[in-house]
Structure formats: structure tokens, C-alpha cells
Structure 1
Amino acid sequence: MENKAAPINVNLDKNYDSDFCGSIPLHLVNLIQPHGALLVVGKNDLQIAQASENVAHYLKMPIDELLEKPLSDFISAKQFKELLSKMERQQHHVKIPFDLTFQVSGEAKAFMALVHPKEEYILIELEPNVEATKKSFAGLYQHIKYITNLLKQAADTSEAAQLAAVELKHLSGFDRVLVYQFDPTWNGIVIAQAKEDDMDDYMDLRFPASDVPRQARDLYYRNPYRLIPTREYTPVGLIPIVNPVTQRFTDLSDCNLRSVAVVHLEYLANLKITASMSLPLIVDNKLWGLISCHHKTAKNPDYEERSAMELLAGILSAQISGKEKEKGILLRAQLRGVHAHLLEQLYNQAGFIDGLLSGSTTIMDLLSVTGAAVLYEGNIVTIGSTPSKQELKELASWLRRNKSEQVIATNSLAAEYVQSKAYKDVASGLIALPIHAEHGEYVFGFRPEVLQTVTWGGNPNDAIQIEADGKSYHPRNSFASYQETVKFTALPWEDEELEAAAVLRSAVLEKILKEKY
């Protein structure tokens, strides 16, 4: 049995989530990208305690004339009062968008600001206000409304993702837009793509977890987007280096301007792109995936465009959540119907084994298995394709050591129980319903091996190339397709199937009690 496209939750032999990459403190880089400037203002005295070096460029004044001065010296009393009012009404982790006009030497300097009130200080990100070619609110609203309606009409998650990729590319003007879903071990697979003809095709390719390591995923979860207008930039430091308010490096976790690790800039170069923007997809309060936008040349979307993209990422997240729940509801309803027939049969038969394994409806129908076995009171009764009786006894003995009284399920039995490789064709997947685990009494369901071909974007074993010093490292320089055949794996168990198995187990135990007493 062979399936060309591996499902998102395929079991892989190796975990590619690098501890090395995941330990780098990205939030304490103390550097920003130069397309904006950063001020750190003390929360108690509202004085400018720290600033990025390029403030001198944007405000046309020496940085020394800015530090340790009240913020109110540089903006109007009206703006200052309005800013204080908004910060008082917001929690400290919320970013406040704000138009700030600095008055310097009689000249007005207008900025789009993002204000982050923290517990001890306030971060103020500044980007120059650019009035040229701004899209009207009405135009953006109409486009977003149109895309939202399209997403609602999508039949499933894949169709919604593809529609979003196409429309986001049209809205943003990026050369390539990918929708990227994480698997259970944080590898990502491209499930939707819209691109220019001369851009590389990444559809259906899988990328190792080290491409988006743990601390980067944490930052994606906290931030609505990550923008790199150009990888060819010189990072800008903060002055003074140590935050005078905290006596530590300033935490830039929530800062859009935060500089990027050099290795990531190398990664972008290897992808043959100059600018990128990524937006998280949050489903059921978890990081489900990313929308990744690529551009061959430098590109810096304005605040309105970024906000529209942020809104659409949220709408797509909601649609994915709804469609996945709808799929679960439909499967649950289908299983309830099968369960009702099985339950009726179970109670009409003299013994529970006949109720499960014979008749018009069997446990095979409920759990989509190709074989099932009941081990009870020294007897073994089977249906469909199963391991031999001796192999079933040994499997029960192995499971008994776990002494679990809950349903146990795996779609890669060989990864946990090596002996099962001998019968992978019938039992690469196992679901076990304990009857009396300490006595080795179980109801088993089996699924056969499904050979799955995983196509990676580059060899995942070369994802990180560490230099001889053990400290410096580089990303892989090739994203050419690399195929891996995953063996000893069955189709995965759906959550709804596990729920159905747990309910069935309770019914079986109740039936056994009635038989005995």
C-alpha cells in the first residue's frame, strides 16, 4: 500500500527540532533593523533612557541631546496627554499604534509609532510616516471583505489556505506567498502557494523544525508579524548598551524592528530572496502554522498594508479552526451512528466478543481497522488481518508492563515495540482497549503499514552546518527536493476515533459486569 503525499502528522524517525538553534536568546540581541528607530522610556519618570543609534539620523539631532530628557520635551502637550491616556487603559503587553510628531529645532518629524508599555519601561518603535500611494481605508476594507467571503465559501482547510495565498499575494505584491503548517514535531509542510513564474516551487515540500526553532516559534506566537524589508542591512545598536532602568539588556521580544540572527539572513540569501514577511496562524490558542511572504528585491509594506495582512491572517486562522472543527463534528456524528449499531449488537449478543467481532457492524467499522483481536480469559479471538496468536500474546505482555487503564494508540508501533516490525504489513498501527491490563486482557485494533514519501525542501540532515569551533553555524545552501520514504507507519488515529474507542471500552466493561453478575 503506497501513498504519495504524506499526511501532516506522519511519524518521522528523527526529531529535527534543534536544541542548539532553539537555545539562542533572540530577544536579547540589543540590535534593531534600520528602517525604523527605537526609544526606551522609563515608566516612572517618562524620560528617554535608551535609544537606537539611528535616532540621530531620523530626528536630525545628536543622540546625547535626547537621552535622559523627558519625552514631553519633544512632542506636543496634546499628543503626550493622549498617549498617557491610552497607556493607562491598556495592559502592559498590548502594542498601541500612534501617530507621533517630534518637534526638533522648530521642524516637525512625523512618525508611525508602536508603543509597548512594559512593567518597568515603555518601548516606542518609530517608522517615518510616508504619505505617498497610501491605500484608502475603504479600498482595503472592501478587499478584506471580499477575501473573507471567499474563505467562508472554501470547502476545507486546503482550499481556504490556497485562496488566502492567492489573495494575499495580490493584496501585498509579494513575489511568493506560502501557507506553511506545522506537524506534531514542528516540521513544516507547504500546503498552499501563490508565486511568480520565476520563483522556486515549494508546494508540498516539508522543512525541518530547525528552520523555525523553538524560541522563534515562541516569538511568532506573541507577535502578529515578522518583517525583514531587506536582508542587506546593517544592524543598529542601542545606546547605552545596558538599559539604565533595568540594568539588563532590553527585552525586544515584542519589537517589530528587532534585528535578525545572521544565520537567518544567510537562509534568506540561500532562498534567493531579499525581503520577507511572516504572519502566524493561531488555531485553538496554539501556533498552527505560518504565512510566509517572499520578495526578490527589497520591500517594506506600509502600516496599512501590514495591518490588512495581519487581519487576514487572523481571519484565515479562524476559518481553519472552524473547518477543522466542522470536519471533527462530521466524523464524530458518523462514528456515533456506527457506535449505536455496535452498541445494540453488543447488548443483544450473549457475549461481548461476538458483539464486537461478528454481525453486520463490527469494531473494524467503528475504528477503521483492517484487523481486530480480543484477548480475554485465556482465549484469543480475531477478525480480519492480525498478527499470530503467539505474537498477540507477546504484544499483550509488552503492553501489560505499561499497566495503563486508558486507551493506547500509535500509528508507528515499531518505533515503540521493535518486535512488531515482523508483522508491519498488518499491524504498523495499533489501538488497544484495556479490559484487565494486569492480566493481559485487551481488545486490539490494527492498521497496516502505509509507505509514505516525504519530500523535503533540501536534505533535513544538512539543515544546520556547524563550524569546527562548535559555536558558529550556517543554514543549508540547497533547497532541492530530497525524498525520504517513511516505513513502519500506519494512517494516523483521529481524535474522534480515540474518543469513540474510549466510549466503546466503557460499554464493553459494563457488558462484562452484567455477564458476570
Structure 2
Amino acid sequence: MSIGDARNVDLSTCDREPIHIPGSIQPHGVLFALEEETMSVLQVSENVADFFGSKAADVLGRSIGELLSGSRERDLRAALPKLVAAEPILLMSFEHGGGELNVVGHRSDGVIVVELEPADPIATEGIPHDLHSIVAAFIAKVQGVPTVPELGKLVATEVRQVTGFDRVLVYRFDEDGTGIVVAEDRNEAFPSLQDHRFPASDVPKQARELYRLNRLRIIPNAGYRPSTIVPTANPVTGRPLDLSFSTLRSVSPIHVEYLKNMGTEASMSVSVLLEGQLWGLISCHHATPREVPFEARAACDLLAQVFSLQIASRARAADVERRVELKSSLTRLLAHMAEADDFTSGLLAYPGDLLEFAHAAGVAIVKEDTCHLIGRTPTVEEVRALA
């Protein structure tokens, strides 16, 4: 699908778009799919010429060591044992073309996926260098924060400090897939979206699943032209290369059009997972193209993980508190019923305890021909119809 096609797309088809196999990458970096034993190039992005001066057709079948110096190939081989299937890892960095390239890798579809992307300090101006101290300070700050919205505001502020984005939103998914902005930090480049709700179609099902699997996605320039991966099919599987865990994965043209409609030229999303499920996103927007180096993205991922742990901790504490309250209410209600001539009289004499136990605004007690109402309830006739 082209960017032009996205303008007139039927949004009901979004759930069926195969976004994990786009067949292309964002061109701020270059991708290689390697055979592990020989390090030969099985697939490569067409923009390899922009980085190494060799056309894709001339690179295929050759060892990646022919593009890198001998010492760099040895360093890359030495780093391969660190690779896992479902986690992009920074393997090494090296000077190239007057700048520095980060080498990020993961395993996918029986091959080693190696992605090179800029770590140029000019491209990342304004991003703090002491990321460890920022994360450490955040961990200390969250200990005394009582509510999730306040935690969200804190993590939004920290992520914005790390990345330099114009606006950072903390976005929570409800059970029906709709979302609400529970916190934000921003400058005047973008309007506030605090407490705004968004339909489930804004983040289709397969996109939410990809966010669950791969916690971080970056789009440095929404106006990019995708760089095609050649050949189209992974020689190992005969299918397009699965880019679920790629840092350079080209994104849906529908999403690119969505960003442009928002006046956003760069974005980043960090997933917030709770017990393995997608709770929400930390969504970042910038009015102009902006690169964020791997190290800063990893720091934001760590901030998101600390945030999710704090959410879980508060949820567990609230659950324990609720259980204690229920047990206390039940004990009082049992005592009231034991003291009364019949259980109905005991419950009616202490309506506050009954409402607290039921965690409701109203209660109806129906016994034989009698119907007693407490708090906000339907009419007696309506209750009898329900009973």
C-alpha cells in the first residue's frame, strides 16, 4: 500500500494489514539479514549504497565482513552470542563516514538481523548524556507518588527530558480497546490532549499485539521514503522477512498519514505492559524530524518498565486494601444479623456497611413478599420485575 492509498483507505481493513512484514525499512538506517555461520548477506535493504557505496545486488551473497573492516567483523561475531529472538540488542558501535553507527541485532526467521543506524551527536542534539542518573532519579521519585495519573505525569516528564520530544502522552487502553490520555508533558508546539479519548480503531488489534511483543517503535521522519528489502522473500523461509522486532521496520502508510494529519513529523512509542498484557503506551510526538539514539530509547524503555511495576504495585496494594475492607464489612454485617431477630432487620439497621460490602450505590433486599430499598435503586416494581 502506498502513502497515497492511505488517504482513502477503509479503516475496517486496518486489522488485517500485515504490518510485521512490510518488506521495507525506514531509510535512516540499513538492514542486513545474515546467515549465522558464514555471515553472508541473504537480504539487504536497497539503501545499502547510501551507507557503503555498494548496490544491494552486489552485496547479496557476500560476507558482511567485506563491507566492514576485519576488526569490526570479529567484534560483530564476538557479540552474536548475546542475541535473542525477541529483543533488539545493541551489539557494538563504530565510526563510519564521519559519524558513528550503532549496530543493533536480533534473531528472526532463522537468520541474524543486523541493523545499522546513526548514533550521531549532531542528529541527537539536546538529548542528555547521563541517562543512568536520570533513570536512577526516576526510580527514587516514584516511591512517594500515590496515584497512577501522578505517576504518568512523572514518567511523561522524564521521557520528554530524555528524548527532547515536543509532547509525551501516557495513553491507557480500556478493555474495549479505546484509549484515554491519563497524563502528558509538552511544550507549545502541540495542544494538550489530557483526558482525551480515542477510538479502538486508532490502534488496530494487530498493532496492539505488535506493541505487546516489541516494546519500542521510532519514526524519526514521517516523510521518509521506504527502502525495500531485497530479495522480497527470506531465502530460509520463502516468506517476507518478519520485522516484528526490527528497530527500522517501515510502518503502515495509514499510520504515517495519521501522523501527518496531527502535524507530527517524528514519533516514538514505548509500550507499558502489565503482567504481559498491553496496559497502554507512552506516545511521543515532535513537530520536526528527530532522531533518538538506541541508548536513549533503551532508557525510555526502562522508565516504562519501572512505571508498569509501580502501577502493578499500586493495583496489588489497592486489592489488598479492598479485601481487608470487605472482610471488615462482612464481619460487622454478620454481627448485626446475629444480634437481630432476623437477618433482614440486621442488614437494614446498618445500611452503610451493606453498601460498602456490596461496593454499590444502592441495594435491594427481597424476601418473600417484602422488598426493602437502600440508597439509589430502581422502584420497588422494577426491582420485583428483576427478581
TM-score (norm 1): 0.66
Q: Give the CA deviation at 1:102.
A: 9.6
Aligned twin of 2:249: 258
Instruction: Give the whole-Å Cα distance in 2 for the aligned partners of 1:346 and 1:284.
Output: 40
Q: Give the CA deviation at 1:348.
A: 4.0
Q: Give the CA deviation at 1:370.
A: 3.5
Aligned twin of 2:8: none
- Counterpart code for 1:36: G
Larger radius of gyration: 1
Higher relative contact order (CA 8 A, sep 6+): 2
- Counterpart code for 1:249: P
The yes-or-no answer on 1:244 pairing with 2:235 is yes
Could you list the per-position Cα deviations for residues 59-103 of structure 1 after superposition, in whole angstroms to 9, with x for gaps in the alignment? 112222311123344446665555455544654323221116599
Could you list the per-position Cα deviations for residues 477-497 of structure 1 after superposition, in whole angstroms to 9, with x for gaps in the alignment? xxxxxxxxxxxxxxxxxxxxx
- Counterpart code for 1:115: G
Conserved in 2, the CA contact under 8 Å of 1:101 and 1:108? no
Conserved in 1, the CA contact under 8 Å of 2:169 and 2:282? yes
The yes-or-no answer on 1:52 pairing with 2:45 is yes
Instruction: Give the whole-Å Cα distance in 1 for the aligned partners of 2:245 and 2:195.
Output: 31
The yes-or-no answer on 1:115 pairing with 2:108 is no
The yes-or-no answer on 1:199 pairing with 2:185 is no
Matched residue SS, 1:369: coil
Q: Give the CA deviation at 1:119.
A: 4.7
Could you list the per-position Cα deviations for residues 427-446 of structure 1 after superposition, in whole angstroms to 9, with x for gaps in the alignment? xxxxxxxxxxxxxxxxxxxx
Conserved in 1, the CA contact under 8 Å of 2:172 and 2:279? yes
Q: Give the CA deviation at 1:335.
A: 2.7
Relative to 1, partners in 2 of residues 1:154 and 1:253: Cα closer, same or farther, differing over 3 Å?
same
Within a 5 Å distance, the mapping from 1:399-438 to structure 2 comes to none
Conserved in 1, the CA contact under 8 Å of 2:42 and 2:60? yes
Flag structure 1 segments of 5+ consecutive residues without an equivalent.
Answer: 1-17, 397-517
Aligned twin of 2:303: 312
Instruction: Give the whole-Å Cα distance in 2 for the aligned partners of 1:237 and 1:204.
Output: 39
Could you list the per-position Cα deviations for residues 122-159 of structure 1 after superposition, in whole angstroms to 9, with x for gaps in the alignment? 21111134255789997221222222222222121111
Aligned twin of 2:362: 371
Aligned length: 375
Aligned twin of 2:18: 25
Instruction: Give the whole-Å Cα distance in 1 for the aligned partners of 2:32 and 2:290.
Output: 24
Aligned twin of 2:3: none
Relative to 1, partners in 2 of residues 1:356 and 1:19: Cα closer, same or farther, differing over 3 Å?
farther
> What is the identity percentage for the equivalent residue pairs of Structure 1 and Structure 2?
32
Instruction: Give the whole-Å Cα distance in 2 for the aligned partners of 1:138 and 1:169.
Output: 14
Conserved in 1, the CA contact under 8 Å of 2:149 and 2:182? yes
Relative to 1, partners in 2 of residues 1:137 and 1:167: Cα closer, same or farther, differing over 3 Å?
closer
Aligned twin of 2:331: 340
Relative to 1, partners in 2 of residues 1:182 and 1:136: Cα closer, same or farther, differing over 3 Å?
closer
Within a 5 Å distance, the mapping from 1:13-92 to structure 2 comes to 19-43=12-36, 45-75=38-68, 80=73, 83-84=76-77, 86-88=79-81, 90-92=83-85
Relative to 1, partners in 2 of residues 1:357 and 1:90: Cα closer, same or farther, differing over 3 Å?
farther
The yes-or-no answer on 1:126 pairing with 2:116 is yes
- Counterpart code for 1:284: E
Within a 5 Å distance, the mapping from 1:109-508 to structure 2 comes to 111-130=101-120, 139-359=130-350, 362-376=353-367, 378-384=368-374, 385-396=376-387
Instruction: Give the whole-Å Cα distance in 1 for the aligned partners of 2:225 and 2:62.
Output: 27
Instruction: Give the whole-Å Cα distance in 2 for the aligned partners of 1:185 and 1:73.
Output: 52
Relative to 1, partners in 2 of residues 1:193 and 1:74: Cα closer, same or farther, differing over 3 Å?
same
